[in-house]
Amino acid sequence: MNAVQQFTKGRIHDVACKPLKKFLDERGWLTELFRSDELEPEIMPAMSYVSMTQPGVARGPHEHVEQTDYFCFLGPSNFKVYLWDTREGSPSFGVKQVLYAGVDAPSIVVVPPGVVHAYRNIGTENGIVFNAPNRLFAGQGKSEPVDEIRHEELVDSPYQLD
């Protein structure tokens, strides 16, 4: 594990945050989540899943060794997203970045391997997050270890959520 204890605020290299474009009409709205003609081959999704997070609840902090996460914060709540760059050699090594995403700012957040990440539902409704990672959860046929380092239980963790 890398030993960064004090992170500085800033923007993390290779983390992408893009607005989701909603096409609104009298029936509701529609938004594209990903397109194979817009993504780099190395982050092309291998699977997708949706999670619901209750108000006030956080998921993470976690990091992946090989997996890039492709989170879409769709609403109906808002999330505070926390990112910490622990990649030695990264131009933003030791940087912490905070983003807000969800119903008031529908967004895609791309998180590369080695960037510790967590998010909290800061709204009053259940919130939906779609993820399309570029690796299969637990590998082919769920036969491999899960590519995930969990930091939730770390004593004196540098990855603090407020």
Ligand X SMILES: Cc1cn([C@H]2C[C@H](O)[C@@H](COP(=O)(O)OP(=O)(O)O[C@H]3O[C@H](C)C(=O)[C@H](O)[C@H]3O)O2)c(=O)[nH]c1=O
Burial of 120 (0-12, 13-18, 19+ CB in 10 A): buried
| Residues 6+ positions from 28 with CB-CB distance below 8 Å | none
Chain centroid to CA 119: 7
Q: What's the closest the beta carbon of residue 117 comes to ligand X, in angstroms? A: 6
| Residues 6+ positions from 55 with CB-CB distance below 8 Å | 77, 121, 123, 124, 125, 126, 127
C-beta closer to ligand X: residue 119 or 159: 119
Q: Which two tokens stand for residue 32?
A: 């594209």
Whether the Cβ atoms of residue 127 and residue 53 lie closer than 8 Å to each other: yes
Q: What's the closest the beta carbon of residue 44 comes to ligand X, in angstroms? A: 16
Chain centroid to CA 85: 13
C-beta closer to ligand X: residue 69 or 85: 69
C-beta closer to ligand X: residue 25 or 143: 143
C-beta closer to ligand X: residue 20 or 63: 63
Q: What's the closest the beta carbon of residue 131 comes to ligand X, in angstroms? A: 6
Q: Which residues bind ligand X (CB under 6 A)?
A: 49, 51, 59-60, 62, 69, 117-119, 131, 137
C-beta closer to ligand X: residue 51 or 124: 51
Q: What's the closest the beta carbon of residue 88 comes to ligand X, in angstroms? A: 21
Q: What's the closest the beta carbon of residue 68 comes to ligand X, in angstroms? A: 11
